[in-house]
Amino acid sequence: MSNLFSQDERTERLNGWLSFFFLMITQIILGAALVYQRYILGMPSEYTRDISIALLISGYGYWLVRLYVNAVHPVFTLKELSIAYVAFVAMIAIPTYFLVGSPDL
C-alpha cells in the first residue's frame, strides 16, 4: 500500500511534462478565445476582460512558480535590462500604434 503513492524520477518527469502541455493548451485556447472575441467578433474589451485576466495570471503564475521551484534566479546587467525593457515596450507600442493609431495630443 505504501508504494501506491511513491514516485520515481521517470513518473515525476512524466507528470511535469503532462502538466506543462495541458497548461500550454489551456493558455493557447484562452488566447485564441480572446483574439476571436475581441478582434473577429468585435466585442468591447469589457466583455473580454475576464479572459484576459485569467490568461495573464495563468501565464505569469506558471513562470513565477517555475522559476521559484527550480531555483533559477537570473542575474541581468543594467545594459541587458535596458535592452529588454526597450524591446518589450516596442513589442507593445508598435502594434498598438498600427491598430489604434497615435494618440492625439
CA–CA gap between residue 42 and residue 34 (Å, rounded): 11
CB burial class (10 A; 0-12, 13-18, 19+) of residue 61? exposed
Instruction: Output the pTM of the full model.
Output: 0.49
Domain locations in the chain as residue ranges: 2-73, 75-105
Grid coordinates standing for 69? Answer: 521551484
In angstroms, the CA 34 to CA 50 distance is 10
The answer to whether 27 and 61 are in contact (CB under 8 A) is no
Task: Give, in order, the Cα–Cα distances in Å from 71 to each of 43, 62, 75.
Answer: 41, 14, 12
pLDDT per residue, tens digit, the chain (105 aa), is 455 556 677 777 777 777 788 888 888 888 888 888 888 988 888 888 888 888 888 888 877 777 766 665 567 788 988 998 999 999 988 888 888 877 776
pLDDT at residue 60 in the model: 83
